[in-house]
Amino acid sequence: MPATAATESPQGLAAYADVTTSEASLRRFLHGLPGVDQVGAEARAAGLGTRSIKTTAKSMALDLAITMVDLTTLEGQDTPGKVRALANKALRPDPSDPSCPSVAAVCVYGDLVGPVKEIVGDRVNVAAVATAFPSGRASMEIKLADTRDAVAAGADEIDMVIDRGAFLAGHYLQVFDEIVAVKEACQRPDGSHAHLKVIFETGELQTYDNVRRASWLAMLAGSDFIKTSTGKVQPAATLPVTLVMLEAVRDFREATGVQIGVKPAGGIRTSKDAIKYLVMVNEVAGPDWLTPDWFRFGASTLLNELLMQRTKQQTGRYSGPDYFTLD
């Protein structure tokens, strides 16, 4: 992943320095953001979801979607052998077709970063969940140690979870400070940083207004990506929630010149779903986000569906689900 993109802006991040100096100023700013029209957001998301694309464009979209997958396993029964197999699949999703692209990253628990890194090296990123995933309920010492351990093991990306209890209670500065601290813990001895994705668990945030507020809070705190969900809570990623987050990163770049990525995760299982999201990215945020550097899918089963559709596009035959290895 590249460093967070910056472009010329009349204001820049410096214009928001006073916003995070106190709980009162941060609350005033977040609650001063334009409210989300729930009916309008859901209607627009539904409308974008009905767009159709032509065969040639669909082939390109399938390959693009594959390159955006964070191939994920986050189960208590995960083993080094399982994640090594997943790492090999990440490198060569379809071993029978060398033209099939690799995925963006493999996402695992922090203690399994090493076995994945042994397989993928620098060819595919390794993402680790941290900060007491999925609940986010632990002391800061534990959260920071969790992050540092994953970075030391070779994680290229850290997927942290915010404390939703603190956020919903209105303790915005506490959440902000935690993100800042985790960002600092992502630093390596050579001064470089693992990229930080901030998970909101949007299914627990209750309103689209809260999703917008969480997006701006995380971006002001230094996140490189904002992410919908852990995949452990329903609803997880939805088109309307992702639309709100895409609007937020678009508006943030317009205001500051800084580009932030978006990662919907959980519940995205079919190629049709993936293409709906790609259409939305293009229409809402713009084509600059249509790369794995700025948009990802957090998924465990999506990759096989994309591979089956890709094979059908190439051969005219639909392979069964057992044609590709199970994730």
Tell me the catalytic residues: 159, 227, 263
Helix (H) or strand (E) holding 118: helix 113-120
Query: Hey, what are 302's tokens?
Result: 């999506």
Residues 102-141, buried b or exposed e (16+ Cβ, 10 A)?
A: bbbbbbbbbebbbbbbebbeeebbbbbbbbbbbebebeee
Residues 205-214, buried b or exposed e (16+ Cβ, 10 A)?
A: beebbbbbbb
End-to-end alpha carbon distance in the chain: 24
Q: HEC states along 236-286?
A: CCCHHHHHHHHHHHHHHHHHHCEECEEECECCCCCHHHHHHHHHHHHHHHC
Query: Hey, what are 64's tokens?
Result: 């693009």
Bond prior to 93 in cis (omega within 30° of 0): no
Mutual angle of helices 239-256 and 271-280, in 10-degree steps: 30
